[in-house]
Amino acid sequence: MRRRLSNLFVYFNPRILSMLMLGISCGIPLLLTGSTLTMWFTEVGVDKTTIGLASLIGFPYSFKFLWAPAMDFVSIPVLSNLLGRRKAWIVLMQFCLIICIIIMGYSKPEDMLSFTAMMAVFVAFFSASQDIVVDAYRLELLSEKEQGPGVSSYITGYRIGMLIAGAQALFMAEYMDWSTVYLIMAIIIGVAMSIVLFLPEPDVNVNTKFFSKSVFFRRKEKGIMIIVRKTIIQPFTDFAKKDGWLAMLLLILLYKMGNAFVGHMANPFYIELGFSKSEIATIVKTYGLIATIVGALVGGSIVHKYGMAKGLWIGGIAQLLSILLYIVQEYFGYNNLVLVLTISLEDLASGMGSAAVFTFISRACSNPLYTATQYALISSLSAFGRSFVSSGSGYVAEVYGWTNFFVFSTLLTVPGLIVLFYLHFNNKIKS
């Protein structure tokens, strides 16, 4: 009993609690360019296929590793001296997010859909950039023993941010226009930005001299090669030295593919069944958040107590089975009780899987010199599945129907489990 209590008390460590704060800031922009945006598009009459293609707005999350090296080695003039290298990048990205979210909110997708989509891409870019430096900040600030609880705390905060940008945004949209809703979201990120100022800076010394002006005043080609070698080739070569690195990347790419495919078309599914915005906000966002938080805590505890492999297996199988519950929901149609059950179990499983796979990613990035670059690269694979594969979700749902859509989504989880079996069977997953 005492040992269980000690496992829970770790979440009250100030360093772990700081991950909760950062998670909130990172969670808000994701839904503003995701499910909340699809709800906005649906309300103004955008067709289902276009809504499916809107998942491509999230492409910056998939390619953030391309500019991650800059955040590993470039110090922002003045700001880095005042706040520290990592904190300076966090504050700068949050400021850019605030500006872009406000502009996006005041756009009119019913008249200028392309402009709204463009601003959403900018929001996604700065959000992905914020994720890069926050992930690096967490990896450098916390010890290896704290990574599991730290990831769980971060995911919890992330989901709280998603609740704010999801359920709260939908509630507000019932009584005010979308521009005001997005303005309020920007203000909340501003509050989070002020909190960052009081957080500690990791005590990690990284040489940034090769980004000095002298590099750029050499021959252009030589300067570019120096940067590419030191910021891309070396970090990736370092990661490729790990035993089973290719299979590890495949696992990260495939592990949550099914959940991503389902998630992008969830709102159109609920609306088609007859659920209102307030019901979606209350049941899907609120109950879903609670279930995800519990799942993240359970998943982190499983990894902490039983090891990485068991955490991944339990989370992966739970995710597979939970997607099938949507077929049950379709059978019962408009039924609040069934929706609560479906959402609670699906998000519980998703939280467990997220805690396991992100802890797996954290442990894979063991070299502090390339923390941001390596973490951004492999986490981008997960975002690639969410953005690219989900772009066809609207087409599949429209052409083949919801039942076949959910069966297909379930099958998308199987390849990840096959790769997990390979890694586990060959003892390539460290406990």
pLDDT tens profile 199-220: 777 776 655 544 444 444 454 4
What class has domain 9-200+217-425?
Answer: mainly alpha
Q: Span 39-46, mean pLDDT?
A: 87
Residues 123 and 94: beta-carbon distance below 8 Å: no
Q: Is 401 left (phi over 0), alpha (psi -120 to 50) or beta?
A: left
pLDDT band at 9 (very low <50, low <70, confident <90, very high): low
Torsion from C-alpha of 218, 220, 221, 224, nearest 10 degrees: 90
Q: Is 202 helix (H, G, I), strand (E, B) or coil?
A: coil
Burial 125-159 (b: 16+ CB within 10 A, else e): bbbbbbbbbbbbbbbbbbeeebbbbbbbbbbbbbb
Is residue 167 within 8 A of residue 281, CB to CB? The reply is yes
CB 193 within 8 A of CB 91: yes
**H-helix segments, 257-335:** 257-264, 266-273, 277-279, 288-306, 308-323, 325-332
Buried-state track 220-230, b at ≥16 Cβ within 10 A, e below 16 = eeeeeeebeeb
Higher-confidence residue: 294 or 196? 294
DSSP state of 76: P
Structure tokens at 331: 């059978």
Please, are residues 230 and 357 in contact by the beta-carbon 8 Å criterion? no
Q: With bands split at pLDDT 50, 70 and 90, how would you rate the model's confidence at 186?
A: very high
Helix axes 371-387, 336-364, angle to 10 degrees: 150
Decide if pLDDT at 394 tops 90.
Answer: no
pTM for the whole thing?
0.74
Using left for φ > 0, alpha for ψ between -120 and 50, and beta otherwise, residue 333 falls in: left
pLDDT band at 404 (very low <50, low <70, confident <90, very high): very high
Give dist(CA 56, CA 34) in Å, integer.
Answer: 10
Please report, for the chain, the start and end positions of each structural domain, with discontinuous segments joined by +. Answer: 9-200+217-425
Q: What is the CA radius of gyration of the chain?
A: 21
Instruction: Give, as one character, the DSSP assignment of residue 107.
Output: S
pLDDT at 163: 83
Q: Choose among 31, 37, 54, 79: nearest CA to 189.
A: 31
With a cut of 80, say whether residue 356 has pLDDT above it: yes
Q: Mind listing the pLDDT tens digit for each residue in 319-336?
A: 999 999 999 999 999 999
What tokens does 268 get? 């159109």
CA gap 80, 74 in Å, rounded: 9
Round to whole Å and give the CA distance between 30 and 116: 15
